[in-house]
Amino acid sequence: MASTYTPLGVELQATGENAGTWGTKTNTNLQLIEQISGGFTAQSIAGGAQTTALSVSDGSTGAVMAHRMIDFTGTITGNQIVTIPLDVQNFYILRNSTSGAYTVQFKYASGSGSTFTFAATNKKTAIVFATANDGTNPDIIEVQTGGDVVDDTSPQLGGNLDTNSFMIDFDDAHGLRDENGNEQLFFSTTGSAVNYLNATNAATGNDPKLSALGDDSNIDLALSPKGTGEVVVGTGAAAATITSSGAHDLVLDTNSGTNSGNITITDAANGNITLTPNGTGDVVLAADTTTVGDAGAAATLNSNGAGTLTVTTGGASDLILSTNGGTDSGTITITDAANGNIAITPNGSGNIVLDGLTFPNADGSADTFLKTNGSGTLSFAAVSGGTDWQAVKTSTFTAVAGEGYFVNTTSSAITMNLPAGTLGDEIAFIDYAGTFDSNTFTVSANGSEKIHGSTDDLTISTERAANTLVFTDSTQGWLLKNN
């Protein structure tokens, strides 16, 4: 009976066969097994698109497909296919050392089973298993060693990682590299580390979480850009929002609140910075001094649209507007761009004080003016030195300080009741028809006030009489300017 051979070329000697050469053939078989289990060989596949068939060498060493590791070499100018016979069952370590951006496919010689392909830019190493699991359509399966999650039916080493996507890098800077060998995620170490990051996934409707954990009770989570780089949030397709977890404050500070520093909110395209409270909430700037504007231009506080701009202090503190913190001279301008009113309204019965002058908190009477008491308090008073003449009076009336009256007693006597007097108040009268001598004109004081030092009424019976009463004080009351 003649010898037979395995798909990888190992000779299976029949009984009584190979007399005198059995030892030599056994040694060749052992060399073949050693080659299959750990042998390395290079296979050039240089050239254009082509198929390179790897064949068995029965009973002898040297067949390319009977090595554990095969290194594909050469400059390729088209996509390459490397095949093995349908009955080969083995696992291979394949390395793509070719130059040229074309694919290299490793497959069975025929059939529709699974194959393995090096991508055009994948110049790395892969482990594949030739299964010989079907006589017509056997599969070649990649043994996964790192990367993406793969089909659970695929053989895997070290977990569900796909080395075609990235590689694990166990040098001094531990981390992951992408399929092109470029750094993707690196981990740096700290001696005697006790704090660490924890990544937690989430169910539907919840957020995955990256947390700081460890032995310390309070641990910051630091995001550190390189150099002058920035920490960027958002997708670029919508507004980015930074929010607090639960009903807690959102705090921005410098160096965890231990050192002074500026917190700057800026817009690179000359856009507005909007501080918008929720609902009826207020925007509160709780600081000893709040500075607006830059050093090169006037600072402006604007309301949004036709709304009201309200600036208030926290608690019972004063609100101070100053230029450059009060250290340099400058003008504070309150203006309205649409010719609207500028209203300064004190709360309740409070007064408006400007530069030491206290203004009244209510309007005065018509035709009055503001006067000072010499100590910074302003009040409304009637204009002295002028008389506001009224229409002819033909019956008894009550006078008003600052007014003059034409009195006509042709039909009957008339009485003029004086108002309560204030120093300097004046009231004038004239005999309109020259009839005071027939029907008298009587001037009556107000209550306990006096005329010429007396509480008696003043009776005027002189034809064409005309005079002016001036109030002095409670002792003399109203006095005639002309006697």
- How much is the pLDDT for 152? 46
Mark which of 83, 115, 143 sits at the end of a domain.
143
The ranges of the chain with pLDDT < 50 are 147-156, 158-161, 163, 170
* pLDDT tens per residue, range 35-72: 999 999 999 999 999 999 999 999 899 999 999 999 99
Instruction: Let me know if residue 334 belongs to a domain.
Output: no
143, 176, 200: which is the final residue of a domain? 143
Task: Let me know if 144 is exposed, middle or buried by CB neighbors in 10 A (0-12, 13-18, 19+).
Answer: buried
In a domain, 62, yes or no: yes
Q: Provide the domain limits for residue 120.
A: 4-143
Quick one: CA dihedral 418, 421, 423, 424, positive or negative?
negative
What's the pLDDT tens digit per position in 276-315?
A: 787 777 777 766 667 776 666 777 777 666 667 777 776 6
Q: For residues 183 and 432, what is the distance between their CA atoms, to the nearest angstrom?
A: 110
The per-residue pLDDT for 144 is 76
- pTM listed for this prediction: 0.41
CATH of residue 410 = 2.60.120.640
Instruction: State the pLDDT at residue 301.
Output: 73
- For residue 383, give the DSSP letter: P
Please check whether residue 445 lies inside any domain of the structure. yes
Residue 297 lies in a domain: no
pLDDT attached to residue 2: 83
Rounded to whole angstroms, how far apart are CA atoms 161 and 144? 6
pLDDT of the residue at 160: 46
Please check whether residue 34 lies inside any domain of the structure.
Answer: yes
Q: Which of 143, 171, 206 is the last residue of a domain?
A: 143
Give per-residue burial for 334-356: e unless 16+ CB within 10 Å, then b: eeeeeeeeeeeeeeeeeeeeeee
Q: What is the model's pLDDT at position 151?
A: 46
Q: How many domains does the chain have?
A: 2
One-character DSSP codes across 325-348: GGTS--------TTS-------ST
Judge whether 476 lies within some domain: yes
Q: Give the side-chain half-sphere CA count within 13 A for 429.
A: 32
- Does 95 reside within a domain? yes
Tens of pLDDT, residue by residue over 333-357, are 777 766 777 777 777 777 888 878 9
CB atoms within 10 A of CB 305: 5
Residue 395 lies in a domain: yes
